[in-house]
Amino acid sequence: MEVTRVQELAVGGLHELPAQFIRPAHEQPENSKAIDGIMVPVISLSQPHDMLINEISKACSEWGFFLITDHGISSSLIQGLQEVGQEFFKLPREEKESYANDPSNGKFEGYGTKMTKNLEAKVEWIDYFFHLMSPPSKVSYDIWPKNPSSYRAVTEEYTVEILRVTEELLELLSKGLGLEGKALKSCLGGEEIELEMKINMYPPCPQPQLALGVEPHTDMSALTILVPNDVPGLQVWKDGNWVAVNYLPNALCVHVGDQIEVLGNGKYKSVLHRSLVNKDRTRMSWAVFCVPPHEAMIGPLPEVVDDRNPVKYSTKTFAEYRYRKFNKLPQ
Ligand SMILES: O=C(O)CCC(=O)C(=O)O
Ligand SMILES: [Fe+2]
């Protein structure tokens, strides 16, 4: 199946954005600018435990988004992860295409570009590489990039670190709900919890004010932990405004996803977010989605539901949630 990659359009030296990338007027960044003077929460993981629980649960309730520092992942590992991802996108076209995904046939992993199903639908200015990272027993390492040759070693090292940070965050979030530390992790499959990597690549865009890299959405994950490169673009929705996320070297961006919103019966918010693109520079981001296994049943935890806070979400398997979200069906 022939797919035109955004990266190829961009190197072709376009001056005008092709029509399928032009967002409806109200979505265009020039008509929906981020508000000035508001900063997303930045939280150090090295502060005293009780303070940390309070800060994180406040950020999850008010924003569904925050940056973390002092997370213990070395800057050299983050840089290594970024380098192997950049190297992949520099490979010759034919080599990248040998990893092409095919979502319409259920093959979600690999190299991808979203396409329009119909002429009215708009597409995003992005190519990506998506693959499962953990647990090792479920990972198809043969679809990970073989080039650069260090891709696997670096990504496996990052997996160990992100799993540690994910578990720490889930423990803090559990305690913020008044539950014991292991509660959320065990609802999300315990040791079967899955991590997925999506390397997002947004090439320079001839008319960035008319396009979006990723349209407004919430993540269907439990949590998403993302590192960007130094090209800004991520924005989060807060109280009726877009707020730009400033680049903070070595910080990790944490998004509350839909599954945590459901488990906490709405106490924590799944954050609406989008990303903009840049005229001259390539933006990249490495998003790790922490998701339950497909068969896990996810619904509001009985401990957080009472007469004053009745059940707000239905309980269903993650597979069903995913199917409904992909097909834009009500949950
Ligand atoms: O690139 C970004 O900063 C956001 C990407 C994103 O929202 C996603 O991959 O779900
Ligand atoms: Fe997202």
Angstrom distance (rounded) from CA 251 to CA 245: 11
* Torsion of Cα atoms, 317 then 323 then 328 then 331, to 10°: -10
Q: Any idea what DSSP says for residue 269?
A: P
Residues 248 and 42 sit within 8 Å (Cβ to Cβ):
yes
DSSP state of 271: P
Q: What single string gives the DSSP state of each residue in 147-181?
A: SSTTHHHHHHHHHHHHHHHHHHHHHHHHHHTTS-T
- pLDDT string in tens for the chain (331-residue length): 678 899 999 987 788 999 999 999 999 999 999 999 999 999 999 999 999 999 999 999 999 999 999 999 999 999 999 999 999 999 999 999 999 999 889 899 999 998 765 666 789 999 999 999 999 999 999 999 999 999 999 999 999 999 999 999 999 999 999 999 999 999 999 999 999 999 999 999 999 999 999 999 999 999 999 999 999 999 999 999 999 999 999 999 999 999 999 999 999 999 999 999 999 999 999 999 999 999 999 999 999 999 999 999 999 999 999 999 988 999 9
Cα 213 to ligand 2 centroid, rounded to whole Å: 11
Looking at ligand 1, which atom is closest to the CA of residue 228?
Answer: 3
What burial class does residue 54 get, using C-beta atoms within 10 Å of its C-beta: 0-12 exposed, 13-18 middle, 19+ buried?
middle
Cα distance between residue 255 and residue 234, in whole Å: 11
228 lines ligand 1 (CB under 6 A): yes
pLDDT attached to residue 122 = 86
Contact 69, 254 (CB under 8 A): no
The Cα–Cα gap between 287 and 275 comes to 13
Tokens standing for residue 17 = 């954005």
Q: Phi and psi (nearest 5°) for 287?
A: -100, 125
**Annotated catalytic residue within 217, 230, 279, 312:** 217
> How far, in Å, are 27, 178, 244, 246, 268 from residue 31 at the CA level?
7, 42, 15, 20, 29
- Nearest-atom number in ligand 1 for the CA of 213 is 1
- For residue 202, the cross-strand partners are 283
In a domain, 273, yes or no: yes
Three-state DSSP class for residue 181: coil
Ligand 1 proximity of 221 Cβ (cutoff 6 Å): no
CA of 218 to the centre of ligand 2 (A): 6
Specify whether 217 is catalytic. yes
pLDDT at 144: 98
Domain membership flag for residue 1: no
Task: Please indicate whether residue 219, judged by its CB atom, sits closer than 6 Å to ligand 1.
Answer: yes
In angstroms, the CA 20 to CA 120 distance is 8
Residue 180 alpha carbon to ligand 1 centre in Å: 31
Token couple for 245: 């996320």
State the total domains in the chain.
1
Helices and strands in the chain: count of H runs, count of E runs: 8, 14
- State the maximum Cα–Cα separation within the chain, in Å, rounded to a whole number: 60
C-beta separation of 226 from 287 below 8 A? yes
Q: Among residues 198, 294, 316, 325, which one is catalytic?
A: 198
Which of helix, strand or coil describes residue 86? helix
Strand-by-strand arrangement of the 241-244 sheet: 214-217, 273-275, 234-238, 241-244
Ligand 1 atom closest to Cα of 255? 7
d(CA 218, CA 200): 16
Is pTM, for the whole model, over 0.90? yes
Ligand 2 centre from 203 Cα, in Å?
18
Residue 26 annotated in active site: no
Task: Note the pLDDT of residue 86.
Answer: 98
- What residue owns the CA closest to ligand 1's atom 9? 287
Given a contact cutoff of 8 angstroms between Cβ atoms, the answer to whether 163 and 289 are in contact is no
Per-residue pLDDT at 203: 96
Residue 186 in domain: yes
Assign residue 33 the CATH number of its domain: 2.60.120.330
Concerning whether 71 is annotated as a catalytic residue, the answer is no
pLDDT of residue 311: 98
Domain of residue 245, residue span: 6-327
Q: What is the structure's pLDDT at 104? A: 86
